[in-house]
Amino acid sequence: MRQLCALSLVAVGAGIAAAGAQAEDTLQRGAYLVNTVMACGNCHTSVGPAGPGPELAGGLPFELPSFTTYAANLTPDRKTGIGDWSDQEIGRAIREGIGRDGRLLAPVMPAEFFQHLSDQDLAAVISYLRQLEPVRNEVPPSIFRMPLPVTWVEPITAVAEPDRSDPVAYGAYLGQIAHCMECHTPRDDQGHLDLARLGAGQHEFIGPWGVSVSANITPNAETGIGGWSDAEIKRAITEGISRNGYELRPPMAFSY
């Protein structure tokens, strides 16, 4: 009898845990993607004198020769955020770089990389954004000083789940949506990525930290990370510490 009781307790406990895990999973996955892998806050959370925040409420300016843009307010505020947007509209902004009104978003928003985000992960990201604290923060529209193409990426209808049991395929997927190559690839005079030198670094970033130059993260043994151990690479990505102990500066998107 005692045994039976214990057994059914375990079963009930497991049932609750399973239901809880199911409910948590989408949101936890969304939090993980937004706050670490995809680093939305790197652009969408402003940093004031009191530190970063409010979370994902936008406003950070980007001044480039060909446009001026401000990271959007991603909180569910109905007037100044995305509270009134449909899932489809939010998904189109993330994966295709198109605003709610159909205009193209400034190419700082890395849709070129986010286009690979799976449908399931997109739903997780949206569910995370929807439960943020709404913040009223009006963000100015972008000003373009260049002709815009018709579109940045071809329309996306569906993106299948990556195969998580294949570490190389899943790593490639995470690398795409983490947009590592956006920063770690040199650009030509027009600002296009030099795909022949993918991962070779040398892109300069100017900010309150001074000038940081993205590193060569190809497996070249001398100038890249070919000689690094897995633990050293992991530390650079998750803690922002280089092989020799040097603290990496922004905008290297290590987890925070």
Residues engaged in binding ligand HEC (CB under 6 A): 34, 38-40, 42-44, 62, 69, 71-72, 74, 82, 90, 93-94, 99, 105-106, 108-110, 125, 142, 175, 178-180, 182-184, 205, 212, 214-215, 217, 225, 233, 236-237, 242, 248-249, 251-253
CB of 207 to ligand HEC, least distance (A): 10
Q: How far is the CB of 43 from ligand HEC (least distance, A)?
A: 3
Q: Nearer to ligand HEC by C-beta: 15 or 226?
A: 226
**Cα separation, 214 vs 183, whole angstroms:** 6
Asked if residue 182 lies in contact with residue 112, where contact means CB atoms within 8 angstroms, the answer is: yes
* 3-state SS track over 224-256: CCCCCCHHHHHHHHHHCECCCCCECCCCCCCCC
User: What's the closest the beta carbon of residue 142 comes to ligand HEC, in angstroms?
Assistant: 4
Least Cβ distance, residue 249 to ligand HEC (angstroms): 3
In the chain, which residue ranges form alpha helices assigned H by DSSP? Answer: 2-32, 41-44, 87-96, 111-114, 119-130, 167-177, 180-184, 230-239
CA end-to-end distance (rounded Å), the chain: 51
Nearer to ligand HEC, 49 or 72 (CB): 72
Indicate the residue among 200 and 236 with the shorter CB distance to ligand HEC. 236
Give the residue with the Cβ less far from ligand HEC, 108 or 193: 108
Pick between residue 8 and residue 131 the one whose CB is nearest to ligand HEC: 131
Task: Report in angstroms how near the CB of residue 192 gets to ligand HEC at its nearest.
Answer: 16
Which of 256, 200, 226 is CA-nearest to residue 243? 226
Do 212 and 168 form a contact (C-beta atoms < 8 A)?
no
Count the residues in the chain: 256
Separation of alpha carbons 114 and 6, rounded Å: 48
